Amino acid sequence: MPPPVPAISPRLRSKLRTLAKTQSKAVERTYATLLSLEGYNALTAAARKDIFDSIAFSADLWFQCLLDGKPPADPVMDRTAAFARRRVHQNVPLRSLLRAFRLGARELWRTCTELAEADPALAHELLFEVSPYLLDYFDAMAEHIAEAYLDEQHQQARWRGSLLQQLYDLVFHAPDDAARFRETVEALGLDATLPRIALAVDLDLRDHAPSVREEALDRFALGAARHFEIKPDALVRVWHRERLVFWLPCVRGDSMTRNDQRTADHAAALTRAEPRVLSIGIGLMNEGARGWAASVEEALKAVDFAPRAKGTDDEPATRVHRFSSIAIEESVRSSANVLRYLVSLAEQLATEADLLATLEAWFASGQRRRQTAEALGVHPNTLDYRLERIETLLGAKLDDAHWIARLDIALKLRGVTSAAGHDARKKEKKARAGTKKAKGAAH
């Protein structure tokens, strides 16, 4: 509660009563200064009016306390707390709000010193009676609004967390409930009709204990919002299948291609700035609960199946993987017959040494024969023989665009299959070793 109000002389009371009716300049100066502070500088017109009204109310309240000789009543304190609670929803940081109170106190004191300049007889009373009260009063009010602000922030976090859990359940378990999806997204203050792109982020959190992991994710999400140039509240975040998933708002009216490229550029900047990011998968733009879920699946596949290029000191390997880069292979993978056909092409070449390596080098060199021969370290005639042998075995034409596309996808699919098989063999070997160890321990 604010401190006891000092008794003031009739002379000062008369001056303050007049000043209280004409203190608009102090309010306007405070308001103009606030608009340069973080959080205040991006407010809507309606929110700015609320700020101006709250400054005027605070100034009137201080004068009224001095003139009445008593601290503000509980309903007035509740109204002050309501101002603080609204600042949470207006995204005004607490430090900016407290700074606003200090600026207001300074402007009111500046106004009072003008009284002393005009009437030196009041200087002693203003300095030794009013000045200490002003400092104590605004210190107590700042503590009051900070408590209200933090309480509202806590309530908002719990409420938002509940909504995010509800959104998670809808997207992954009830994607056909369009009405509840729309209501939940809008309750979060977001546009349910705006398309979004999902990101699946692999984060290294080994140095964070479970008790502080959520706080680390909060900090990372704030940094991600800055890199993607969006407000933190616009970045929808969930934890799914051991990865951090973001749904990023797209630019309405832009093509899928442009949104995909823009997201990839921002994600690359994020990986450069944040060494804890092991990899990021990017899904395709989509909308609605089912579309959000599909984009997440695509982002996860991009992380799991995108080809991993080896980096160098001059050009590190990318940690950003786009589903759009493997979209054709994934569509093929979903068709069992087509998949078997394309895999069989690579398997047929595997029956003769060097043919697969030759074809891979040929694609890596952009189908340029001289560069391919140099990469393989063979004579051009040897390369010609191998390419002709590939055509003979497969009945293919390496100058036919359709065959080039087929063989390119076949090699990529074989690479993914080989990598998956290698991982499976490693897990099986590890499991056998664990079983053997357990048996040894039992004996």
Helix (H) or strand (E) segment spanning residue 406? helix 401-442
Average pLDDT for 414-421? 51
**Are the beta carbons of 163 and 171 closer than 8 angstroms?**
no
Cα gap 431→433, rounded to integer Å: 5
Q: What is the pLDDT of residue 240?
A: 93
Helical segments of 69-209, H only: 74-89, 94-118, 123-125, 131-173, 178-187
Q: Report domain 174-324's class.
A: alpha beta
Cα gap 177→165, rounded to integer Å: 15
Average pLDDT for 218-236? 90
pLDDT > 50? residue 230: yes
pLDDT tens digits for range 364-408? 888 899 999 999 999 999 999 999 999 998 888 888 887 888 888
pLDDT > 70? residue 35: yes
pLDDT > 60? residue 312: no
Cα gap 303→315, rounded to integer Å: 20
Q: Which of 430, 39, 368 shows the shortest CA–CA distance to 232?
A: 39
SS3 136: helix
Predicted TM-score (pTM) above 0.75: no
Q: What is the pLDDT of residue 161?
A: 87
Q: What is the pLDDT of residue 425?
A: 42
pLDDT tens digits for range 107-146? 988 888 888 888 888 888 888 988 999 999 999 999 999 9
Q: How confident is the model at residue 340 (pLDDT cuts 50, 70, 90)?
A: confident
* Angle at alpha carbon of residue 209, lines to 203 and 210, rounded to 5°: 80
Fold of 10-157: Globin-like (1.10.490)
Average pLDDT for 94-108? 91
Cα gap 235→249, rounded to integer Å: 7
E strands, 232-366, in order: 236-240, 243-249, 277-282, 320-322
Of 85-89, 206-210, 279-283, 381-385, the one with minimum mean pLDDT is 206-210
pLDDT > 60? residue 434: no
In percent, how much of the chain has pLDDT > 70? 90
* Mean residue pLDDT across the chain: 85
pLDDT > 50? residue 180: yes
User: Where exactly are the structural domains of the chain?
Assistant: 10-157, 174-324, 331-442
pLDDT tens digits for range 232-251? 888 999 999 989 999 999 98
What angle, rounded to 10 degrees, do the helices at 45-68 and 10-21 form? 160
pLDDT > 60? residue 441: no
Average pLDDT for 71-77? 92
Give the CATH number of domain 331-442.
1.10.10.2840
